[in-house]
Amino acid sequence: MAKREVGFVVTEEYAAWLSEIKKKIKQSQIKASVRVNDTLLELYWNIGRDIVEKQETAKWGDSFLAVMSKDLQKAFPGMTGFSAENLKHIRYWYKFYTANINGLQPVTQIEKVKQMIKSIPWGHNQRIMYKCKDVNEALFYVQKTMDHGWSRSVLEHQIDSNLYERQGKAITNFQVKLPEPQSDLANQLQRCCGRNSKAACRQLRKSRTSCPSNGHASLRKALQARQSIAPPGSTSFHSFSRFP
């Protein structure tokens, strides 16, 4: 039965049409969240690489990470993820994949690996890198997360239940795709990319002249894309500062 609104009768045709519009909006939100997540993890990857390379050449040890953390948090007070603890996670993440890259099949290149691991949130990445023995196992769970839209808790359960050992199959056909709109992964991506946006965006705007690096420029662009279609009351930047 048609529902009457002020000046308009809501018919089944209108309801179906509106449903399609809602789907398009949801897809746009997911795409924006994926872009923000990708840009954030690209930044983490580059920071991890820089830390590893500097430690190899400067012989600074680990003590400088605490100083680096304080300096970054002072320079970017609206951004999380720069704690000394998280900087260690970032370094480990980079070393986990680059140190073990020779264990991958020849067809697998580092850029493809990066594309995969940047397709899931930082919290998922932390669980995978600390719980998996090698890169092949890690990429198996990355792909399964994307295929099934797993939340972090489901991912952790699957790793603890030794799904990789039980299936005994390495991933050979990597596929990067958007998560299903109603999946736990999609919801988690949007929540993760929806925190701490206002302060982060203000800081990014302030850093436009003082920090002209490609990493911050691309992060600012992704944040603006996310914010332009974010639902009312939502925000658009987040990083996990520690591994629970």
Confidence at residue 8, expressed as pLDDT on a 0 to 100 scale: 87
Confidence at residue 213, expressed as pLDDT on a 0 to 100 scale: 43
Confidence at residue 242, expressed as pLDDT on a 0 to 100 scale: 39
Quickly count: other Cβ atoms within 10 Å of residue 190's Cβ. 25
Q: Helix %, strand %, coil % for the chain, to 5?
A: 65, 0, 30
| Closest among 155, 141, 226, 145 to 191, alpha carbons compared | 226
pLDDT in tens for each of the 244 residues of the chain?
Answer: 556 566 788 999 999 999 999 999 988 888 888 899 999 999 999 999 999 999 989 888 889 999 999 999 999 998 889 999 999 999 999 999 988 665 554 445 788 899 999 999 999 999 999 999 999 999 999 999 998 989 999 999 999 999 999 886 655 555 555 555 555 555 556 565 555 444 445 544 554 444 444 444 444 444 444 444 343 333 333 333 333 3
Confidence at residue 109, expressed as pLDDT on a 0 to 100 scale: 72
What residues have CB less than 8 Å from 6, skipping those under 6 apart?
Answer: none
Question: Judging by beta carbons within 10 Å of its beta carbon (0-12, 13-18, 19+), is residue 69 exposed, middle or buried?
Answer: middle
Confidence at residue 76, expressed as pLDDT on a 0 to 100 scale: 95
Tokens found for residue 28: 């746009």
Q: What is the pTM of this model?
A: 0.69
Helix (H, G, I), strand (E, B) or coil at 243: coil
Helix (H, G, I), strand (E, B) or coil at 158: helix
